[in-house]
Structures are given as C-alpha cells and as structure tokens.
C-alpha cells in the first residue's frame, strides 16, 4: 500500500545498534578488522564506533545479550547491516583486511548497481560491505527501471584495485 506522502528523498539511515554477547570481541572485529574508530565506551556494556569521526555509525551493546547466543535460523530479526564504502578501492581495502584476519566470506556479488561482500560478525550478525557503481553504469530495462542482477564478483580483480 503506497504512503499518502512518500518519505523525503534525503532521508537516510544514520546508525544501527547491534546486540552482541561480548563487547571486547565485537570491538576487536569492528575496529581491529573492519577499521571503524572507537568514539565512546559507555561503561562496560556499550560502545559507539564510526568512520571519519561521526558520533556513531554502529552501536554495540550487551544490555540484553551479554553471553547470549545468536537467534536460531527461521526466526525474524535483522538480515544484515549494509556498510557503504565510497569507492571500489575502499571495498578492496576491506577485502584485504578480511583476508589478513582470516575472516571468511559468505558470498561476493556484482549486482550491476553495486559490488558486495557478505559475511558475519562474531555474533553471527549479517554484514554486507559494498560500494555503489556510478549511476550512469547501472543496468536499466527499456522502460528505464533498474535491472539489478546477482552475478559472481571477481574477488581477484577487486583485490587488485588500487587507490
């Protein structure tokens, strides 16, 4: 059912909070592997991390989940958090970081509009790391609508991308 008035085009998702079982383990992953910067610790139960000094892109907390386990398959919840990188070379750097820390990928796709890496954090939260291709390169149908695809992403070609 379409809304009476659409949400403004400039609206964006500013941050996400993830329930984690071990705060330090999550900081080791989000800061140590992915390269986010710690902005603030909130006691020993929460932390706020970001890129570029923003107050936080990701909140990590153990308020309801310390020592907990991920939800079992077949339950509702967050599918994944998508982290948008500014350029293909930045996504290549992320892939190199993952490889250096032996973090396995669940998948890697070229969607025509973007290229994406899929993985899970230590608490089994789904993560998509991606960059958007220039809009002029997006595949289109004859009527102008998007023609997104899911094709294999050439990881060697990506990892060879330089700044």
Q: How many structural domains compose the chain? A: 2
Q: Verify that 106 and 63 share a domain, yes or no.
A: no
Identify whether 20 is part of a domain. Answer: yes
Give the pLDDT mean for 54-82.
Answer: 94
| CATH value at residue 16 | 3.10.180.10
pLDDT at 122: 96
pLDDT score at 76: 93
The pLDDT score that the predictor gives to residue 85 is: 96
pTM of the model: 0.93
In a domain, 89, yes or no: yes
Position 83 pLDDT exceeds 90: yes
Is 38 a domain residue? yes
Range of the domain at 155: 80-163
Do residues 82 and 88 touch, judged by C-beta distance below 8 A? no
Is residue 4 domain-resident?
A: no
């Amino acid at each position: 059912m379409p809304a009476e008035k659409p949400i403004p085009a400039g609206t964006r998702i500013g941050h996400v909070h993830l329930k984690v079982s071990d705060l330090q383990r999550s900081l080791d992953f989000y800061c140590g592997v992915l390269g986010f910067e710690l902005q603030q610790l909130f006691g020993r139960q929460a932390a706020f991390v970001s890129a570029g000094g923003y107050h936080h892109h990701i909140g990590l907390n153990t308020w309801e989940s310390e020592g907990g386990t991920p939800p079992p398959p077949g339950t509702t919840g967050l599918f994944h958090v998508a982290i948008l990188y500014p350029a293909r070379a930045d996504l290549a750097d992320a892939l190199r970081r993952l490889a250096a820390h032996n973090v396995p990928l669940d998948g890697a796709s070229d969607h025509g509009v973007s290229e994406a890496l899929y993985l899970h954090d230590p608490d089994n939260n789904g993560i998509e790391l991606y960059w958007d291709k220039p809009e002029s390169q997006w595949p289109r149908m004859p009527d102008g609508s998007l023609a997104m695809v899911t094709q294999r992403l050439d990881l060697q070609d990506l990892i060879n991308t330089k700044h």
